[in-house]
Amino acid sequence: MSKVASTSDKLRLHIALVEGHVRYSGENGTRFHDMVVRTMAALPAPATAGTKPEAGEEAADTPAVALPVLGFALKPGQGGTFEYSFDLAKAADDALAHLQDFETNTRKGQYSFRQKKHEIDSGKLSVVAFVQDEATKKILQAVYVKVEGK
């Protein structure tokens, strides 16, 4: 990627691991899904100074759990080198957990997937990296790279 022409102080490099083609008949009738995002590069959640609820206090009064931060911060006019390793087994496990949570909690048992397409075909993977201005949500630059099989 070349230098991004932006002076924004809210630039972020996002890295997505995508599977090129997944066949699944979903509720909307679409059978073929291209460029399915399997996981995104994320930094660990920032440490929060939370407190445990005192006796008699409601748990809702405690701070929410911090979520991981997606992508890497970029400074305008400066380059950088970034490295990230994706854990395919964890991505598949997370996808399965999400589908099961959807069935159990979102749909309250009123819906069950015929298939859970959480498995990842490592032979169909690519990486998409893009620079986004978080203030405007505009994508300023992107690159697509096919992952070579072993």
In a domain, 92, yes or no: no
Cα–Cα distance, 102 to 118 (Å, whole number): 13
Task: Provide, rounded to the nearest whole percent, the portion of the chain with pLDDT above 70.
Answer: 82
Tally the domains of the chain. Answer: 1
The predicted-structure confidence for 9-29, as pLDDT tens digits, reads as follows 899 999 999 999 888 776 777
Given CA atoms 72, 77, 79, 80 in this order, what sign does their dihedral have? negative
Classify residue 17: in a domain, yes or no. Answer: yes
77, part of any domain: yes
Whether 69 is covered by a domain: the verdict is: yes
Structural domain that includes position 76: 11-43+65-85+121-146
The model's confidence at residue 99, banded by pLDDT at 50, 70 and 90, is confident
The whole-number pLDDT of residue 40 equals 95
In a domain, 49, yes or no: no
Q: Is residue 36 part of a domain?
A: yes
SS3 92: helix
Classify residue 78: in a domain, yes or no: yes
Answer for the pair 46, 26: CB distance below 8 angstroms, yes or no.
Answer: no
Q: Could you tell me the pTM of the whole model? A: 0.77
Q: H or E segment at 91?
A: helix 88-101
Name the least confident of 37-46, 56-65, 74-83, 99-108: 56-65
Residues 41-61 have pLDDT tens digits of 998 877 655 555 555 555 555
In a 10 Å sphere around its CB, with 0-12 CB exposed, 13-18 middle and 19+ buried, how is residue 117 labelled? middle
User: Looking at the domain assignment, is residue 133 inside a domain?
Assistant: yes
